[in-house]
Amino acid sequence: MARAESVVVMIESIERASVMAYHKRKLVLVYAVMRHFAQDLRAAGWTVDYYAEHGDFADALGQHAAKYRPAKLRLMQQSEWGVTEALAAAAARLGLAVDVTPHVNFVSVPADFDAHAKSAAARVTMDVFYRGMRRKTGLLMDGGEPAGGKWNYDAANRERPVRGLRFAPVPRFEPDAITREVIAMVERRFAGHPGIVGDFALAVCRRDALAALEQFCAQRLDTFGPWQDAMIAGERTMSHSLLSAYINTGLLHPLEVCERAELAYRNGTARLSSVEGFIRQVIGWREYIWRVYWKLMPEYRARNALGADLPVPAMYRTGDTAMFCLREALAQVRETAYAHHIVRLMVLGNFALIAGFDPIETNDWFWSMFIDGYDWVMVPNVIGMSLHADGGYVGTKPYCASANYINTMSDYCKHCRYDRKATTTDDACPFNALYWDFVARNADRFARNQRMAVIVRNWQNRPIETRAAIRAKAARIRDALCRGDRI
């Protein structure tokens, strides 16, 4: 694409940003990234036709076509199912030829996924796909072998939280005039949206995103692995990278992120188990999720294999709950639009799974509330990994757990008014009855699942009165959630 002959059209569509009640911080990030990118493009000699705070895409595109009379519109494959076609149709209505280029923000191509499927319908596992991606990229490979001799070092990770554990702080990038203008616009235009902008200090340009990557690899990557799954009250980021928002908005490329992480291992700054664990998240999980989305959409989004139908309760919007773990998680999401993976999966997602939240409503809650949320990444993570509503494509075993897991991996239960060991008493932790009720509701299905059958047998071997009391307690909790009572 030649700079002299091309015009870059960028559109801030208020209509698109209002389709869902997106967290204010997310809107600030997206608009600030767009405006800084436009500035960088102009500085590099490109002509940019920018539509700030515009009503909708089609109208702005029409104005652009009338102004510049382009011969064709070149656009990158969109990350959301159906949107590339919708944009191409809008362009076609204006008489523009359309040229769609592949998405640039991923490392894999469809064949990297399909090559591992024994048949068109067969499931591809993340582990097999990940090994293929390591071979393809050469990341952490010594000749044809994985660095250190193993593909996966998770056995060295998963440390429990210990008292006084502290990590290097996440870098702050103070808002410049452009970002301050965006913040004012979001506060004005989207006043009714959830969350707070607060002291927004995220990177919104490539230079700062690269600085964030550098700081992570130099100061926090080494401790990423051991405490990857741990949760500590008041310690919201641990040693996680917080790079997903930058990768998903295109400020960073996943391959450069992994290459910089590998360098930290090669130069002795970070241990192999941490670096491998981190690279697996990016070229393993992130790419796998992207491929699953494009493989199984659009029917995937509507899956509800466990027949879950509880409306997302009011406390997910208000944050008002006596359950310490959920209160911490919901407060963090409201204030930062971020929570690390285990908080998403084993606190917010786990509760939604065992209580039986409606999958689409849950998906949309996550999508609207998280800084890095987009349809492609939410659907397989929420419908699939978290709620098991896909029937076991992303994970063969549901990520369900009682208070025991949360107590092992966090210090939350110490601060909670509920008794983590009790199941049916008034002060019993709600996770416990809901967990067993979830197993009971799905006993037939899980009895056929090798990884769940033992748990089902454990449930079925309990005295009938015990089971009845647990199920009655779970029913009371679910009723309270439906009514919007504080639990």
Structure tokens at 204: 């919104």
Which runs of consecutive H residues, i.e. helices, occur in 193-314?
A: 206-215, 244-248, 254-266, 272-279, 287-296
Per CB under 6 A, residues contacting ligand SF4 are 323-325, 403, 406-407, 412-413, 416, 418, 420, 429, 431
User: DSSP readout, 304-362?
Assistant: -TT---BPPPTHHHH---S-HHHHHHHHHHHHHS---HHIIIIIIIHHHHHHTB-HHHH
Q: For ligand SF4, which is the closer residue by CB, 244 or 386? A: 386
416 binds, among ligand FAD, ligand SF4, none (CB under 5 to 8 A by kind): ligand SF4
Q: Tokens 């493009």 identify what position? A: 41
Cα dist. 295→240, 292, 303, 372, 415 in Å?
29, 5, 14, 21, 43
Closest CA relative to residue 124, chosen from 300, 295, 376: 295
From ligand SF4, ligand FAD, none, interface partner of 323 (C-beta below 5 to 8 A by class)? ligand SF4
> Which does residue 258 bind out of ligand SF4, ligand FAD, none, counting CB within 5 to 8 angstroms by kind?
none
C-alpha to C-alpha distances, 73 to 54, 155, 280, nearest whole angstrom: 19, 50, 36
Binding window for ligand FAD (CB under 6 A); candidates: 36-44, 60-68, 366-374, 474-482: 366-374
282 belongs to the binding site for ligand FAD (CB under 6 A): yes
Exactly one of 313, 349, 356, 384 binds ligand FAD (CB under 6 A); which one? 349
Does residue 79 belong to the site contacting ligand FAD (CB under 6 A)? no
Among the listed residues 289, 360, 401, 455, the single contact to ligand FAD using CB under 6 A: 289
Task: With beta carbons less than 8 A apart as the criterion, state whether 278 and 221 touch.
Answer: yes
Task: Please select the residue that binds ligand FAD; options are 242, 251, 275, 474, rule is CB under 6 A.
Answer: 242
Instruction: Looking at residues 138 to 177 of the shown chain, list those that interact with ligand FAD (rule: CB under 6 A).
Output: none
368 binds ligand FAD (CB under 6 A): no
Residue 401 interacting entry, from ligand FAD, ligand SF4, none, C-beta within 5 to 8 Å by type: none
> Taking a C-beta distance cutoff of 8 angstroms, is the pair 422, 432 a contact?
yes
The CB-of-13 to ligand FAD minimum distance in angstroms stands at 20
Q: What single letter denotes the amino acid at residue 373?
A: G
Q: How far apart are CA 201 and CA 197, in angstroms?
A: 10
The single residue among 132, 225, 373, 430 that binds ligand FAD, judged by CB under 6 A, is 373
Give the residue with the Cβ less far from ligand FAD, 378 or 406: 378
Continuous H helices in 149-205: 177-189
Q: Report, in Å, the least distance between residue 245 CB and ligand FAD.
A: 7
**397: which residues sit within 8 A by CB, 6+ positions away?**
449, 451, 452
User: Least distance from C-beta 347 to ligand SF4, angstroms?
Assistant: 8
- Smallest distance, Å, CB 122 to ligand SF4? 37
Binding residues for ligand FAD (CB under 6 A): 240-244, 247-248, 278, 281-282, 285-286, 289, 340-341, 344-345, 349, 366, 370, 372-373, 377-378, 381-382, 385-386
